[in-house]
Structure 1
Amino acid sequence: MSAIAEETIQPCPECDSEIRGDSRFTLWCTACDWNVDPAAPEPDLGRLERAGRALARRHGEQLLTEMLSGSDGRPRRDASAVAATVLASAVHGITVALAVGGVWCMVAGWGGAGIVAGLVLLALAWLLAPRPGRLPEGRPVLLRADAPELFALVDDVARAVGTPSVHAIAVNGSINAAVTTYGIRGRRLLILGMPLWEILTPEERIALLGHELAHYANGDLRNGLVVGSAVRSLTVWHDIVRPIAHPTGLELIVNALYVLPRLVIGGLLILLLRLTSRAGIRAEYLADRMAAHTASTPAAVGLMDRLLVTESLGVWLRTEANRAALRGPRSTRNAAERADELWERLTAYVASIPEHEYERQRRAGARRGHQVDATHPPTHLRRAALLAGQSEAADAAAVTPQAHESDVIATELATARSEVARRLLRGALDD
């Protein structure tokens, strides 16, 4: 997809209004919304995903109404939260019971059968036990000594949010950002998708950091140690009892034995989703509010708009990778130059996206309840909440970019951004 606008003019097939658009993007009518959402219907997402998305949509609307009515939206330890914690503890109790049962079988004096049964139970307990996260392998990971200016910015944002800062920053090729933990001590990790970072203004980058760091402070049960690890364990169980595709005669029997456990495990997962969905959606709204407090409402809204065109950015990056493959191998120097130039071309492409494409994405999102995934409220509701609270957030941003800061941070990220660009040109678009 080119970075050069290609204007197109045609009458609307529905209302005959004049349509002025850019042929690189979907042509649609602003008067009657003809062709505003031409995307094919999504494939069947499965029972768990459908349930999660339905809950995200319903709770997103309910919580938006509450926040617009003046609610502070702060996390509450309500009955759902208590029930979710109890259920999650029971899930972990099963893992503990498997481990205890395995040890008991091995020492009960049943001979070889007891040892085999014990090993099977211990293997299951090991498979299902919660595991601490790890630093990503094969991706650039920055520590404080590697990028002091970037960490100083993250520290400033963390103070504004009211939470401790991160211990490491991983850089990858996703059009996204996230926070998580790693290691037994639960050290904090910020994951920055370089394509997203590159297309944001300095103010929008601060909003992005404010949103992500706010997740550490907003009491989202799904990211907590007890409930979050229980969801992961149940997901593993659900995958273990997945029906075997194209089964043989014996595998048909195995599939039949899987039916009841899969229904029970799926039911437990849906129940945990129901119990934690509202808290998770509230955490997203609160993170958006904190992003506006940290960087200003216009910056947070600008970030939201950039997220609307991530699909187009993914297509653009894959096109660039295909072009690089067609050019074939070049010298190491040319490859490095192409990698560095990728970010300039990406920034130019994003700058060329017309406003009517952003507006189309907003209207299409409102029609289909657009959401990033089952843990986020629809994006158009998040944007509405930010705009509704703009008068309350009229004070100066808590963190403002400094004149020299962006250049220094770019220098600190130079090696990582070149490595990520080379991966992207090889077609490795990170998840």
Structure 2
Amino acid sequence: MIDTTAVDGTCPRCGTAAVSQLDAVPWCPSCEWNLEAYDEERRGPVFGWRWLDRRLHHLAYRMTRRQFDRLLGRRLGATGAGAATVVTAAASVVLFLGVVALAGTGVWLIVGFPFPSPSILLAVPLLALAVGLRPRFGRLDPHAEVLSRDRAAELFGLVDEVARAVGAPAPDVIAVDDHLNAYAQTVGVRRRRVLCLGLPYWGSLGPQERVALLGHELGHFINGDPRRALLTQPAFTTLGSAADLLRPAPSAEHGLIEMIAAALGRMLQRLLSRLLFALHLVLVCVALRDSQRAEYLADEMSAKAAGTTAATDLLDVTLRVESMELAVRREARAGHGPQRWQAAVAEARVANAGRLPQLRQLSAREEASLFSSHPPTGLRRLMLDGRERYEPAVVLTEERSARIDAELAKEYQKVLRILAW
């Protein structure tokens, strides 16, 4: 593990010794000189062209910091519909109407002419394209294990308390899986609210951090995140699906004329596919600006439910999720359950405590992306630090937390086997 080390030279702005974490390009911890630098060694390629990836990184960093500066000190829940929200909603409506027009034209070509008619040769592809581009309502992950209120009464009761504390509706479904993650989503035609807790993640958190996690995830039901709204769903999927459908597939041709015609057809398909994909990326980039605002609001709801201290502690855990994963896997292979997971993660946090300020700063560089739904973890922490501090609205005791783990004993055993294997 690499410690924070001063490097040769000082900051040209303020004279402070530059530092480095995790072998990253050095920066100034005081005025953040060079924090914007593109670190090719630590960032994977986005498009594969170095010049383009570098420019996209600088653009993402500047946009992320501008959004942070604009939101700091404002009421996140009262920011109203920004330009990104309006563009995303308008594009979704246009795309949906386009799919309806494709379907309507296909039906008209079938019923508007005597059967059989040459028009059916155009109608079938149009209908197939409309079906391929139809809005998706989402579905519950088949690998997630749905819990019942009878079997997990303590957990359901805690979720209900947190939902009331943040003013969010309670989920219709609570499920668990074996991922080091947690999420909230709305699925199906009936728009059922789903909360899924990854047991390696949930089991590694202290009691009050669990409340913070629930506050954040339940906050997604009311924070206006465009990724979870039915109205804005076409903006995230339609153009990307169209680009996939138009991507040329390899084929075998016989004869010179067939080869020329096929080559021209593939060239046209490739051009249209890449154009649609480029438009898809631009639209997703715009939409995700509002998703990042929604994440800041979900963090504030996390603080309202669990208290600011627990919410910031949860973000620090997220900052070093690799250390959390290593600790959990090590303990799981030794046959230990969530109590030891919590202890191991707490020990890792103590060991990394001196590095956290620089790691938070570094996250602003490494997590800045035009295509990320989350702002950098360090900026999320700064946002909470710069806002009104909250005392816990819901307090989870060690005893009640242990009872929740006891309810999930069967599910923990399955996860233990998966992690150990």
TM-score by length of structure 1 reads 0.77
- Residues 85-117 of structure 1 show CA distances to partners (whole Å, capped at 9, x for unaligned) of 221111111211221122223222352644454
Q: Structure 2 regions of 5+ residues with no counterpart?
A: 10-15, 25-38, 254-258
Indicate how the Cα distance of structure 1 residues 424 and 414 shifts in structure 2: closer, same or farther if over 3 A, else same: same
Q: Does 1:288 align with 2:299?
A: yes
Task: Please list, as runs of the form range in 1=range in 2, the aligned pairs for 1:13-412 lying within 5 A after superposition.
Answer: 14=7, 32-38=18-24, 40-46=41-47, 57-72=61-76, 74-107=78-111, 108-109=113-114, 111=116, 113-242=118-247, 253=264, 255-314=266-325, 341=336, 343=338, 346-353=341-348, 354=351, 355-359=353-357, 361-369=359-367, 374-389=372-387, 392-394=388-390, 396-412=391-407
SS at match of 1:111: coil
C-alpha displacement of 1:311: 2.5
Question: C-alpha distance in 2, partners of 1:168/1:56?
Answer: 36
Question: C-alpha distance in 2, partners of 1:316/1:257?
Answer: 52
CA contact (8 A) 1:207 1:300 kept: yes
- Between 1 and 2, higher relative CO (CA 8 Å, sep ≥ 6) is seen in 1
Indicate how the Cα distance of structure 1 residues 292 and 53 shifts in structure 2: closer, same or farther if over 3 A, else same: farther
- Residues 229-259 of structure 1 show CA distances to partners (whole Å, capped at 9, x for unaligned) of 4312222223333466999978755542233
Which is further off, 32-41 or 297-306? 32-41
Which is further off, 112-121 or 152-161? 112-121
C-alpha displacement of 1:274: 4.8
Which is further off, 199-208 or 80-89? 80-89
Indicate how the Cα distance of structure 1 residues 375 and 13 shifts in structure 2: closer, same or farther if over 3 A, else same: closer
- Residues 178-237 of structure 1 show CA distances to partners (whole Å, capped at 9, x for unaligned) of 110122110100111111111111111111111111111111223211212431222222
Indicate how the Cα distance of structure 1 residues 288 and 256 shifts in structure 2: closer, same or farther if over 3 A, else same: same
Which is further off, 78-87 or 378-387? 78-87
Which is further off, 196-205 or 106-115? 106-115
SS at match of 1:143: coil
Indicate how the Cα distance of structure 1 residues 222 and 236 shifts in structure 2: closer, same or farther if over 3 A, else same: same
Q: Does 1:421 align with 2:416?
A: yes
CA contact (8 A) 1:179 1:190 kept: yes
- Residues 381-426 of structure 1 show CA distances to partners (whole Å, capped at 9, x for unaligned) of 111111122xx224x3111114532122112212222222323334
CA contact (8 A) 1:36 1:363 kept: no
Per the alignment, residue 331 of structure 1 pairs with none
- Residues 18-74 of structure 1 show CA distances to partners (whole Å, capped at 9, x for unaligned) of xxxxxxxxxxxx974245444933232239x97997776444322322343445452
Which is further off, 66-75 or 302-311? 66-75
CA contact (8 A) 2:7 2:19 kept: no
TM-score by length of structure 2 reads 0.79
Indicate how the Cα distance of structure 1 residues 351 and 113 shifts in structure 2: closer, same or farther if over 3 A, else same: same
Amino acid paired to 1:33:
V
Indicate how the Cα distance of structure 1 residues 86 and 42 shifts in structure 2: closer, same or farther if over 3 A, else same: same
SS at match of 1:400: coil
Question: C-alpha distance in 1, partners of 2:303/2:161?
Answer: 15
CA contact (8 A) 2:175 2:195 kept: yes
Indicate how the Cα distance of structure 1 residues 53 and 137 shifts in structure 2: closer, same or farther if over 3 A, else same: farther
Indicate how the Cα distance of structure 1 residues 358 and 245 shifts in structure 2: closer, same or farther if over 3 A, else same: farther
- Residues 252-311 of structure 1 show CA distances to partners (whole Å, capped at 9, x for unaligned) of 555422333224323432442354333222111111111111111110111001111222
SS at match of 1:411: helix
Per the alignment, residue 256 of structure 2 pairs with none
CA contact (8 A) 2:135 2:233 kept: no
Amino acid paired to 2:270:
V
CA contact (8 A) 1:176 1:196 kept: yes
SS at match of 2:232: helix
Per the alignment, residue 19 of structure 1 pairs with none
- Residues 347-390 of structure 1 show CA distances to partners (whole Å, capped at 9, x for unaligned) of 3432331124544532432443457961111111111111122x
Question: C-alpha distance in 1, partners of 2:273/2:416?
Answer: 42
SS at match of 1:171: strand
Question: C-alpha distance in 1, partners of 2:325/2:197?
Answer: 16
SS at match of 1:121: helix
Indicate how the Cα distance of structure 1 residues 35 and 66 shifts in structure 2: closer, same or farther if over 3 A, else same: closer
C-alpha displacement of 1:80: 4.1
Amino acid paired to 2:211:
I
SS at match of 2:69: helix
Question: C-alpha distance in 1, partners of 2:71/2:378?
Answer: 15
Indicate how the Cα distance of structure 1 residues 214 and 407 shifts in structure 2: closer, same or farther if over 3 A, else same: same
Amino acid paired to 1:386:
L
CA contact (8 A) 2:73 2:386 kept: no
The percent of aligned pairs where both chains have the same amino acid is: 35
Which is further off, 397-406 or 370-379? 370-379
Amino acid paired to 2:382:
A
SS at match of 1:33: strand
Question: C-alpha distance in 1, partners of 2:19/2:83?
Answer: 43
